């Protein structure tokens, strides 16, 4: 897809990856709609990017999440793509993580992106794209080593749920040539793990360069 001129929703734009992605898309000429939780950072980003439509949302309000795609489609008079960069980290041995926290991680990391993309799927243009960031999904070709995964069962489960859902969505949207991008990111230097909602992240070497990851994400979009 040609990014220049494409109308794209970034949900999670107030986060590090979301903000970098929004700036990279704007530099390449995309027309953006921004959604994020933090209204101060959202307003600042929108100002920096020349005042695109912007809306606050809470990941735990799934019905609100599903309205973002239709809102962006109306605000931009069309929608070619959606990026969901919402996520929350949480650590701890399985017996140390409360059920409430496990439910929260599942909601923010899986049900929220699903709800955003569920709402966006009917309104995104044919040949458009829907993108979410997983990572932390174990498997033969997965990016995470066993060391990276220790103490992250609930986070890993939430991303695995999202990844499985995206796989089925890929098949469902294939007749319309809508690309579903499951970005299996390795650990990045965004400070994400330090913002863990519970427990402490394992001591690991610094993550990879987030800006490079965003450039590679731009390549993934361009090659759809
Ligand atoms: N960084 C990594 O190492 C890494 C690796 C693999 C995958 N990922 C995934 O990449 C995505 C972006 O991560 P990041 O590194 O950019 O971290 P980040 O800066 O912490 O971004 C997370 C985003 O999620 C939003 N969020 C969290 N809880 C929310 C809630 N209840 N309601 C609405 N928004 C909520 C945050 O909103 P606020 O701005 O209001 O805080 C923030 O915009 C996440 O899905 C993460 O799982 C990251």
161-182 pLDDT, tens digit per residue, is 999 999 999 999 999 999 999 9
Lowest mean pLDDT among 43-52, 177-186, 201-210: 201-210
Q: How far is the CA of 20 from the centre of ligand 1 (A)?
A: 12
Cα–Cα distance, 210 to 18 (Å, whole number) = 11
Q: How far is the CA of 220 from the centre of ligand 1 (A)?
A: 20
CATH class of 7-222: alpha beta
Q: How far is the CA of 15 from the centre of ligand 1 (A)?
A: 5
**Average pLDDT of 5-31?**
98
Ligand 1 binding pocket, CB closer than 6 Å = 12, 14-18, 36-38, 41, 58-60, 85-88, 108, 133, 135-136, 185, 187-188, 190, 192, 195, 207
Measured from the CA of 20, which atom of ligand 1 is nearest? 16
Domain ranges in the chain are 7-222
Confidence of residue 141 (pLDDT cuts 50, 70, 90): very low
**Angle at 188 (CA atoms; ends 183, 192), nearest 5 degrees:** 100
Residue nearest to atom 20 of ligand 1 (CA): 192
Percent of the chain beyond pLDDT 90? Answer: 88
Q: What's phi and psi for 108, nearest 5 deg?
A: -70, -40
């Amino acid at each position: 897809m040609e990014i220049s001129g494409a109308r794209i929703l970034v949900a999670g734009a107030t986060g590090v990856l979301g903000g970098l992605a929004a700036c990279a898309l704007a530099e390449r000429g995309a027309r953006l709609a921004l959604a994020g939780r933090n209204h101060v950072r959202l307003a600042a980003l929108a100002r920096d990017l020349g005042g695109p439509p912007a809306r606050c949302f809470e990941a735990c309000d799934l019905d609100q999440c599903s309205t973002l795609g239709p809102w962006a489609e109306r605000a931009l008079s069309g929608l070619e793509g959606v990026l969901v960069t919402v996520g929350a980290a949480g650590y701890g041995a399985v017996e140390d993580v409360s059920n409430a926290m496990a439910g929260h991680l599942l909601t923010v990391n899986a049900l929220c992106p699903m709800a955003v993309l569920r709402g966006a799927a009917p309104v995104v243009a044919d040949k458009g794209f829907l993108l979410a960031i997983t990572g932390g999904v174990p498997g033969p070709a997965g990016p995470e080593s066993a060391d990276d995964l220790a103490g992250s069962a609930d986070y890993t489960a939430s991303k695995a749920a999202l990844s499985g859902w995206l796989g089925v969505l890929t098949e469902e949207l294939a007749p319309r040539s809508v690309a579903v991008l499951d970005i299996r990111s390795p650990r990045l230097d965004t400070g994400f793990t330090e913002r863990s909602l519970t427990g402490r992240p394992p001591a690991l070497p610094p993550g990879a360069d987030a800006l490079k990851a965003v450039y590679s994400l731009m390549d993934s979009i361009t090659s759809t």
